[in-house]
Structure 1
């Protein structure tokens, strides 16, 4: 008999999901969102490790598994956060010359989507146009992992190519979805990449690794206004083309 936390396996070796699993998986995908306020409730280390083990089932080319994860809690998390907040307030952001998360110039339709997200979030927080200092303070909350008790820094070997970065994205999605199933929330955070120098001064991350992003993990504070943000998605027919003949 298979273990209770594993899927059944047929004689052919194929995995079978329990009845109703499709609805559960789809519900987790739809429920996932970027959480920007967390409760102080700690997350058990065993649960963090369980989530990472599940996410590591993500596909990767020739099973290379290019992800590297630095998990921080307690005093270690606080030391990194203090260093990053100080760097942020001092305007010491420094992009990695080998990694640009965003294009140098936004263009449509991506520019409009980006702007809508920003104004929808600021609207929930009562931040108006022109309130640059409040915007800077809100951006700075990234470097506290939005008060999540678990902070993760994601890195990848600099020698790997774009295909491994694609694999990394699938790992991050798997981790975020698995977290939802346990009542947890996450926020993938590109903001950390521009402070890779400050991160390297706190964590033993060599120049041979690229800081991909950070990720906050914890129990969401659903009473916080920023967590009411639900981002829109374009219809499938807007981004997918179907061929049948």
Structure 2
């Protein structure tokens, strides 16, 4: 947890600032999500790559009675016969054809490099926080 009073001794990069000021909202509100919000999210999401960078993907949005009916049917199937149900299709073909196989390999290389970079940034941020706030104000873990 980052303490509000923490004042780093050196200027933070924009990335470090974003990482340190991030807030992950885990609250749940029992109300419908506005259709305009859903449409906006899906419109932005269409530019995101899919797993292994194999497009296209399809999204179905339900609301109201249709959503309740679908939720009840899925819950009932899971509770009574989960082992009988499986995905209608494999997520990816095996073997993955070109150009998708090459994209996947490149994605793995890129993700590995990004992970190392994130670990280095996180280590640097932690060091800065420990130096400025003192180790007694932070808990490791």
Scaled by the length of structure 1, the TM-score of the pair is: 0.27
The structure with more radius of gyration: 2
Higher percent of residues as helix: 2
Question: Which structure dedicates a bigger proportion of its chain to strand?
Answer: 1
